[in-house]
Amino acid sequence: MTGGSLLPFGDALELWLTIVLIGLATYGFRLSFIHLFGRIDEVPARIKRPLRYVPPAVLAALVLPDLVTIRPSVAATLADERLIAGAVAGVIAWRTENVLATITGGMVTLWLFRFVVFA
């Protein structure tokens, strides 16, 4: 093993450790109130309020950098097959709320621009 913490996923052990830690934390969340019920009745409002914004904030922070890369000009930033495919998929997601339709529409648009339009 060559790396300290700056050379991530250098070995299988680190990968398994990642999986197990995420799994343990997730199981802890699942079990939390199911286990404690009777001792605590309600999630305190101070925790509940910010939790409401975790899904939109984190998902958007994960998605957008995969679709947009800021380039020197606006035209170069916009003429990106990933951004165009993402915009099409976003509209499909909004109109249908269907995961399969969103993936299909986005992938077909990506391929259309990658292999035909910008080829």
Partner 1 sequence: MTVDGDFTDGDIWAGVRDVSPLLLGIAPFALVAGIAAVDAGLGLAEAVGMSVIVFAGASQLAAIDLIGSNAPFAVVVGTAVVINLRVVMYSASIAPHFADYGRRFRAGLAYLLTDQAYALSVAEYEANPERSRWRYYFGAAAALWVVWQIGTVVGVVVGAGVPDAWGLTFAVPLVFLALLVPAMKDRPTTAAGVAGGTIAVVAAGLPLNLGLLAGAVSGIAVGLLTEVYES
Interface residues for partner 1 in 23-82 (CB under 8 A)?
23, 25-27, 29-38, 42-43, 47-70, 82
Query: Are the C-beta atoms of 106 and 82 separated by less than 8 Å?
Result: no
Q: How is 27-38 classified by DSSP, letter by letter?
A: HHHHHHHHHHBT
Does 117 contact partner 1 by CB under 8 A? no
For helices 81-96 and 99-112, give the axis angle rounded to 10 degrees: 160
**Nearer residue to partner 1 within complex by CB, 75 or 97:** 97
Q: Which amino acid is at 88?
A: V
Rounded to a whole number of angstroms, the minimum distance from the CB of residue 110 to partner 1 is: 6
Query: How does DSSP classify residue 40?
Result: B
**Nearer residue to partner 1 within complex by CB, 75 or 94:** 94
Give the chain's radius of gyration (CA, Å): 21
Rounded to a whole number of angstroms, the minimum distance from the CB of residue 10 to partner 1 is: 10
Rounded to a whole number of angstroms, the minimum distance from the CB of residue 116 to partner 1 is: 13
Chain positions 86 to 105 lying near partner 1, rule: CB under 8 A, are: 86, 89-90, 93-94, 97-100, 102-103
- The CA distances from residue 3 to 6, 7, 13, 14, 15, in Å, are 7, 5, 12, 11, 13
Binding residues with partner 1: total (CB under 8 A): 72
Tell me which of 6, 45, 75, 119 binds partner 1, using CB under 8 A. 6
